[in-house]
Amino acid sequence: MSPAAQTETKLYAPSADTVARAHVNAETYDRMYAASMADPEGFWAEQGKRVDWIKPFTQVKDVNYNFGEVSINWYADGTLNVAANCIDRHLATRGDQTAIIWEPDSPTEPAKHITYKELHGSVCRMANILESLGVRKGDRVVIYLPMIPEAAYAMLACARIGAIHSIVFAGFSPDALAARINGCDAKVVITADEAPRGGRKTPLKSNADAALLHCKDSVKCLVVKRTGGQTTWIADRDFDYNEMALEASDYCAPAEMGAEDPLFILYTSGSTGQPKGVVHTTGGYLVYAAMTHEITFDYHDGDIYWCTADVGWVTGHSYIVYGPLANGATTLMFEGVPTYPDAGRFWEVCAKHKVNQFYTAPTAIRALMGQGTSFVEKHDLSDLRLLGTVGEPINPEAWNWYNDVVGKGKCPIVDTWWQTETGGHLMTPLPGAHATKPGAAMKPFFGVQPVVLDPQSGVEISGNGVEGVLCIKDSWPGQMRTVWGDHERFQKTYFADYKGYYFTGDGCRRDADGDYWITGRVDDVINVSGHRMGTAEVESALVAHAAVAEAAVVGYPHEIKGQGIYCYVTLMNDREPSDELMKELRTWVRTEIGPIASPDVIQWAPGLPKTRSGKIMRRILRKIAENDFGSLGDTSTLADPSVVDDLIANRAGK
């Protein structure tokens, strides 16, 4: 059998220009990777110099992966401050350089350019305000803000005084917010009056009010003015940030933090179950975020870099705020959505700010691809040098569109595979070092040792042309340290199933050339008549058909085959469902992949259940396919719960 993703083996080599400019070329990659394997301590001691330490570390790595005694420490005896690394150390050389370009939801509202000097003042003021509200080193602060500069100020202000932030995406409900405030026993919640997004406004302050009804009375609420919209106010609980900022001093000394002091807590997306409160610490995280930002995106001084993620996701933490600012970069922060006021907004913003590196998610690419090429072609994208994706496997169809239509065939694409848990990229092609293959995560980052294990026996499968469960041998500095308040869950989730390894939960193939492909979640591998296949392969085949906009595939119990293939298919805007089309799609998948992958059930799905970060929640689709609607699990991170009702009502073959 030849899975769809495997048939696409065309190699896209970097241009001579890209190679010449790159921090890392093929030869440097091989040399540095070998060095990181031969002497990890020496390698990471050297990389540790990327950040400024108050007290330099003498220990590099102290890691134990044994179930029951898992403990992960990097640079443990060093001290530093993350905000000082992201701001203060740049002031002498680039105080007047733009640190953050802020692009508002509405294109008619002016953008802001915030210099490193201004960032310093704003962060210090916010830090002093938090201290005046009683926040001290080690205390937790929940941030529930739109994508406005104050979100970055709040993160860095926490880091400056040693408070631990936990960001809750502004699209989340009061219940999800309350659970996260209580989960970490936060002292303060920082929110805004309203969050404009796609021309609509979310009433953040009233959501926070509703959430706080379920929290301790002592929790304070600091409110940023964004729209000036009406809010209710509770004296002694609610505080006006803008008023306090007028009075606050613009200097606040950075706290001396241990490398292993927590920097933030962040919940995973909840694609596979109850979200986990991932804890990242100070020193190793910053070294890893800074290094991957510079090398993966080949960032150079003067470049304009844009990551479209929300700061509510780990991508926003590592690749909008901490990585770029630690490197003294200019990072763009966008408040809006890709389709407002129209499907050309991303490209308009790229042209307007002369963006050099652009980093987004496959879900956005697929959505924009469905709108045609004219929205892209209207805008001057000649400054783009590199494109990136993150969040899901990217199907070759979307990869090719991104490459041809957006990148005009001259921008390398970095398909970065990583997780909230990993803090930064673990596998990605490097732009000046590797030829890319559409849909492949290609190569491990320095110091990262991916292994492919047999899912049943847990034995390492060596050689190329193999497939199995993806684990990582040994640690890297950006790794999560624990689940907040539940070290037991941390050990059980990541270190119990495959002893001595970090278990990623993802499946993976190492192809004949030794390059890595993420095949989806391990849970998403199905076994049809004894043949194991990743559901992503069937999805890629379906999406390659001109009528199909999006597809999600799950297994369901099948009397004869063990598992059958159940496909949810969203059609292109201009196509109508019909029995002929259903037949055509079945034949299509059979020819694309093989008879074994022939769909047993196809259900037309006007929408698919997605997390707020745009990932398809296959576990819900699996329940629907299994006819088991009673136990859909945690659905609090769903973007649009009504989609689920529709799918249940129209379940095929009920």
Which range in 83-91, 99-107, 236-244, 391-399 contacts ligand ATP by CB under 6 A?
391-399
- Nearest distance in Å: CB 275, ligand ATP: 5
Query: Measured from the CB of residue 521, what is the shortest distance to ligand ATP in angstroms?
Result: 5
* # binding residues, ligand ATP (CB under 6 A): 25
Is-cis flag, bond preceding 341, omega within 30?
yes
**Which CB sits closer to ligand ATP, 332 or 617?**
617
Round to whole Å and give the CA distance between 499 and 458: 8
Contact between 437 and ligand ATP (CB under 6 A)? no
Q: What are the start-end ranges of the E strands in 247-322? A: 257-258, 262-267, 277-281, 304-307
73-81, 209-217, 234-242, 267-275 -> range binding ligand ATP (CB under 6 A): 267-275
Q: Is 390 in the site for ligand ATP (CB under 6 A)?
A: yes
- Work out whether 271 is an interface residue with ligand ATP (CB under 6 A): yes
State the angle between helix axes of 174-183 and 204-212 in degrees (0 to 180), rounded to the nearest 10.
50
Binding mask 326-355 for ligand ATP (x = CB under 6 A): ------------------------------
Residue 479 has φ and ψ, to the nearest 5°, of -65, 145
Q: Should residue 392 be labelled a site residue for ligand ATP when binding is judged by CB under 6 A?
A: yes
Using the contact rule CB under 6 A, the part of the chain among 158-166, 192-200, 245-253, 410-418 near ligand ATP is 410-418
For position 318 contacting ligand ATP by CB under 6 A, the verdict is no
* Residue 97, both tokens: 């350089």
DSSP annotation string for 9-76: ---BPPPHHHHHH-SS-HHHHHHHHHHHHH-HHHHHHHHGGGS--SB--S--EEEE--TTS-EEEEST
Member of 18, 85, 128, 416 binding ligand ATP (CB under 6 A): 416
The least CB distance from residue 248 to ligand ATP, in Å, is 35
Q: What is the C-alpha to C-alpha distance for residues 376 and 368, in angstroms, rounded to an integer?
A: 9
Q: What CA–CA distance (Å, rounded) separates 363 from 358?
A: 15
One-letter amino acid of 133: L
Helix (H) or strand (E) holding 625: helix 618-625
C-alpha 143/C-alpha 13 separation (Å) is: 42
441 binds ligand ATP (CB under 6 A): yes
User: Two tokens at 557?
Assistant: 């119990």
Starting at the edge strand found earlier in the chain, the sheet holding 112-115 runs 112-115, 98-103, 330-334, 304-307, 357-360, 386-390, 413-416
What sign does the CA torsion over 268, 423, 431, 95 have?
positive
The smaller minimum CB distance to ligand ATP, of residues 397 and 506, is found at 506
For the bound state, the minimum distance from the C-beta of residue 420 to ligand ATP, rounded and expressed in Å, comes to 3
Strands of the sheet with 516-521, listed across from one edge: 449-453, 466-473, 501-510, 516-521
- Residue 489 labeled ligand binder: no
- Measured CA to CA in angstroms, residue 213 lies from 216, 237, 267, 360 at distances of 8, 12, 22, 36
Restricting to residues 469-508, name those near ligand ATP by CB under 6 A.
Answer: 504-506
Q: What are residue 223's DSSP bridge partners?
A: 191, 240
Q: Which residues contact 566 (CB under 8 A, 6 or more apart)?
A: 553, 554, 555, 556, 599, 600, 601, 603, 621, 625, 652
- 415 is a site residue for ligand ATP (CB under 6 A): yes
Site string for ligand ATP, 594-613 (x = CB under 6 A): -------------------x
CB closer to ligand ATP, 274 vs 464:
274
- Least separation in angstroms between residue 416's CB and ligand ATP is 5
Degrees to nearest 5, angle at CA 187 with 166 and 141: 20
H-run or E-run covering 478: none
- Asked if 420 interacts with ligand ATP (CB under 6 A), we say yes
DSSP letters spanning 200-265: EEE-HHHHHHHHHTTS-TT-EEEEE-SS-------TTTEEEHHHHHHHS-S--PPP-EETTSEEEE
Nearest-approach distance from CB 419 to ligand ATP, in angstroms: 4
Please identify, using beta-carbon distances, which residue of 115 and 272 lies nearer to ligand ATP: 272
Among 143, 430, 518, 522, binds ligand ATP (CB under 6 A): 518
Nearer to ligand ATP (CB atom), residue 432 or residue 505 = 505
Q: Is 196 in the site for ligand ATP (CB under 6 A)?
A: no
In the bound complex, what is the minimum distance in angstroms from residue 271's beta carbon to ligand ATP? 3
* Helices (H) then strands (E): counts for the chain: 23, 30
Which part of the chain contacts ligand ATP (CB under 6 A), choosing from 122-130, 206-214, 269-277, 599-607? 269-277
Least distance in angstroms from the C-beta of 319 to ligand ATP: 12
Q: Which residue has the tokens 């408040």?
A: 335
User: Hey, which residues between 72 and 131 contact ligand ATP (CB under 6 A)?
Assistant: none
Nearer to ligand ATP, 6 or 504 (CB): 504
Cβ proximity to ligand ATP: between 112 and 492 the closer is 492
Q: Which residues are annotated as a binding site for CoA?
A: 197-200, 315, 529, 590
Q: Which residues are annotated as a binding site?
A: 197-200, 315, 391-393, 415-420, 506, 521, 529, 532, 543, 545, 548, 590
- Give me the residues that bind ligand ATP (CB under 6 A), please: 268-273, 275-276, 390-393, 415-417, 419-420, 441, 504-506, 518, 521, 613, 615
